[in-house]
Structure 1
Amino acid sequence: MHICFLTNEYPKAGFPHGGLGSFVKTMAEALVGKGIRVTVVGLNYVLSDETENVNGVNVIRIQKSKVKGLAWYFNSKNISKTIAAIHKKNPIDIVEGAELSFAFLPKIKDIKYIIRLHGGHHFFAEGENRGINWWKGFQEKRSFKKADAFIAVSNYVKSHTSKYLSYHNKPIEVIFNPINSQLFQPKDVAIEVNNITFAGTICEKKGVRQLIQSFPEVKEKFPNAILNLYGRDWLFPDGSSYVKMLQEIELPKLGEYAKDVIFHGAVSFAEIPNIYVKAAVCVFPSHMETLGLVAPEAMAMEKPVIFTKLGPGPEVIANGETGWLCNPHEPREIANTIIQVLSNPQKAQEIAKKGRQSVLQQFEIKTIVLKDIIFYKSIH
């Protein structure tokens, strides 16, 4: 079997990449480990063509077009030509991409095309309080029509996407994204008992503002509490910084507590376990997620985790049993949940141990990759 993933985000040293790139890397290497040929095709980070084999995965990066207004056309044409050339040499069984991937891709008869729902333009419109961009909306609808099958990374993304887009009665399977349980595992390191940790993009839909607003109530109960925020800044459409907005508008409202809210900036994926390991509690009050791997990754390290009760939250955590869920729009509820965890460290650790076991059952890469292979074979 030969699987071809489409992504422009496949990790490359010295260049930032998103969660989609991390997912494809994890999945691609696991498939190679099962004896499956894997190719990744996407646009390069730099202005040149490039091919390399990384841990058995053949990665082809294509030079981006610089033609203004028509770059999308030439990029799609070059990706199509590349797929056709690969298929001629080593026949491809499955091409997998995200929601917009197939909009301008001509289909090859012997190949099945799968969209994995990571959260597309229509899906996030509601969570980001914005309208549908006609061009992206058009591409997404066109891409969905071309797909032969779909994989949803949670029941929530499957049902929520169906409010906006049709699956055209084609096969669809819910398969969680995997976590790297070798990277995310318990470590024998001293916990900082007042350390509240968030990791993720510093933006509105991740609930960072409400988390900051919850902090004074936590400080009243735990005066030594520190709120550590790790992640890259998000920019408004006018280019202004979300972090700067928080620092200028939200932090002054905290008075003397503001000094204990610390923005650490972006950290590498490999560094995240070293951040979680010191935390007394990890808090991810997202407004909107497709699945949200930060919560299960922290749970895999036996950390007490507070996640959103909205969207896929209840699919990841059984509230009060494997972690905690809260309303991300209610700072008081976030604060009360943090206080509950910090007030009962022994109970919190018992729940954290159950959280790790739950995650290993649901998100272990060996389990996930087998589900993917079974689905690939079922549609080919």
Structure 2
Amino acid sequence: MHICFLTNEFPKDGFPHGGIGTFVKTIGSALVKKGLKVSVVGINYVAQDETHIIDGIKIYRLKKSVVKGFSWYLNSKKINSKIKAIHKKDPIHIVESSELGLAFINKLKDIKYIIRLHGGHHFFAESENRKINKWKGFQEKKSFSKADGFIAVSQYVKKHTEQYLSYQNKPIAYISNPIDTDFFKPIINTQLADKIVFAGTVCEKKGIRQLIQAFPYVKKEFPDAALEIYGRDWFYPDGSSYIQMLKEKELPQLGEIIKDIHFHGAISYSNIPLAYSEAEVCVFPSHMETQGLVAPEAMAMGKPVVFTKLGPGPEAIEDFKTGLLCDPYNPKDIAEKIVWLLANKAETEIIGKNAREFVFEKYSLENNIKQNIDFFNLMIKRELPFTEI
């Protein structure tokens, strides 16, 4: 079986990537170990074509077009040409993309096309109370019409996406994103007392502003606390930096404690476990997630996690058993949950152990890969009426 993932985000040293890139690397490597062929096709970060083989995955990074107004067309044309060339040489059985990814893909005979719901434009427009962008909305609807099947990474994303987009009576499976528990595992003797770690894109919807606002409340109880922020910057449409906005508008209000808030920028995939390992508490107060990778990654390392109570948060954490859930819009509530974990060492240790066991049960790579392969086989072998698996 040959699976081709469409993404621009496959991790590359020196360049930022998001959760989809991490997901594709994790699942791709595991599929290769099971004897499947895996290709990744996407637009490159730099102005050249590149081909790499990493962990058995063939990665095709295509030179990005910068022709104003036509880059979307020219980039799609390059992707279509590459898929056709790969398929001719080594037949592809499944092409998988995120929500918008199939909009301008030309479907080829004998290939099944799957959309994995990582959280598309309609989904996040609803969660962020903003209007649908007509161009992106058009692309997403066009993409959905081309899909032969769907995979939802949480019940929440499935339910809220279908309020805006139809699955058109096509097969849909619920399969969580996998966590590599051999990669994300406890690291002994690296934890630092009162160290709080956030990882993710530094932007409004990840709740980082409220976490910063929560920090003074934490410092009152734990004067030695430090907040370590790992992740790439986010930029407004005018090109201005979100991190710079925080430094200009939020940090000055905190007084001298700003010396204990550290922005580390983007972190390489290989160094993420080390960042988690130094934390006494990991905090991810996202306003919205489809599933979120960072929380179960940290949980797999036995770390106590504060996660959002909104969206799929309750699917990932049982409050005060495998972690704590917070109101991501309420800095005081975020602070109270952090303080509780820092103050209750014995209970926190139990929560960390429970968290790792839970990740093994729900997100383990072995079980997850079997679910994915079963669904791929189902899609390849026969046409199905609507079935929820």
TM-score bracket relative to the smaller structure: over 0.9
Deviations 1:286-320 (A, max 9, x none): 00111111111111111111100001111111111
What CA deviation, in whole Å up to 9, does each residue of 1:312-342 have, x standing for no partner?
Answer: 1111111111111011011111111111111
Aligned counterparts of 1:279 and 1:51: Cα–Cα separation in 2: 36
Aligned residue in 1 for 2:349: 349
**Amino acid in the other structure paired with 2:337:** T
Aligned to 1:144: 144
Rounded Cα–Cα distance in structure 2 between residues aligned with 1:6 and 1:220: 47
- The 5 A counterparts of 1:103-122 are 103-122=103-122
Corresponding residue for 2:284? 284
Does the 8 Å CA contact 2:11/2:269 hold for their aligned counterparts? Answer: no
Q: CA deviation at 1:37?
A: 1.4
1:306 equivalent in structure 2: 306
Matched position secondary structure for 2:210: helix
354 and 250 in structure 1: CA distance in 2 versus 1, 3 angstrom threshold: same
C-alpha separation between the residues in 2 aligned to 1:247 and 1:96?
39
* Superposition map of 1:1-380 within 5 A: 1-380=1-380
Describe the superposition over 1:41-79 as per-residue Cα deviations: whole angstroms up to 9, x where unpaired: 222233333333322222222222343322222222222
Taking the aligned partners of 2:139 and 2:329, their CA distance within structure 1 comes to 32
Higher mean C-alpha deviation, range 269-278 or range 256-265: 256-265
Q: Which amino acid aligns with 2:154?
A: S
Kept in 1: contact 2:150–2:171 (CA 8 A): yes
Farther off after superposition, 236-245 or 340-349: 236-245
Q: Describe the SS at the equivalent of 2:227.
A: strand
What is the alpha-carbon distance in structure 1 between the residues aligned to residue 246 and residue 66 of structure 2? 36
- Aligned AA for 1:365? L
Q: Over residues 18-53 of structure 1, what are the superposed CA-to-partner deviations in whole Å (9 max), with x where a residue is unaligned? A: 221221111111111111111212222333333333
Distance 2:190 2:62 in 1: 46
Paired amino acid for 2:174: V
Residues 259 and 56 from structure 1, CA distance in 2 versus in 1: closer, same or farther, beyond 3 angstroms? closer
Give me the CA root mean square deviation.
1.5
Q: 1:376, 1:39 → 2: CA distance?
A: 15
* Cα 1:90–1:158 shift into 2, 3 Å: same
Please list the CA deviations of residues 257-312 of structure 1 after superposition, one character each: whole Å capped at 9, or x if unmatched: 33222222222121121121121111110001111111111111111111000011
Question: CA 1:49 to 1:215, structure 2 compared with 1: closer, same or farther past 3 Å?
Answer: closer
SS in 1 for 2:39: strand
Unpaired runs of 5+ residues, structure 2, are 381-389
Relative to structure 1, the CA distance from residue 11 to residue 272 in structure 2 (aligned partners, 3 Å threshold; closer, same or farther) is: closer
- In the alignment, what sits opposite 2:384? none
Opposite residue 251 of structure 2, the aligned amino acid is L
Q: After superposition, give the CA deviation of every residue in 1:167-189 in whole Å (9 maximum; x if it has no partner).
A: 11111111111112122111111
Question: 2:207–2:284: 8 Å Cα contact kept in structure 1?
Answer: yes
- Under a length normalisation based on structure 2, what TM-score does the superposition of the two structures give? 0.94
Q: State the SS of the aligned residue for 2:374.
A: helix
AA of the residue aligned to 1:153: V
Is the Cα–Cα contact under 8 Å of residues 195 and 278 in structure 2 kept in the other structure? yes
- Report if the CA contact (8 A) 1:230-1:265 is conserved: yes
TM-superposed CA distance for 1:8, in Å, is 1.7
State the AA in 2 paired with 1:263.
F
Alpha-carbon separation, structure 2, partners of 1:67 and 1:266: 28
Shift of 1:6: 1.0
Contact map agreement 1:4 1:95 (CA 8 A) in 2: yes
SS in 2 for 1:116: strand
1:190 positional shift: 4.4
Deviation, 1:127, is 3.1
Q: 1:57 and 1:178 mapped to 2: Cα distance?
A: 17
Quote the Cα distance in structure 1 between the aligned partners of 2:278 and 2:54: 32
Contact kept? 1:127, 1:205, Cα under 8 Å: no
Which one scores higher on RCO, CA 8 angstroms, separation ≥ 6? 2
* Deviation, structure 1 residue 149: 0.3
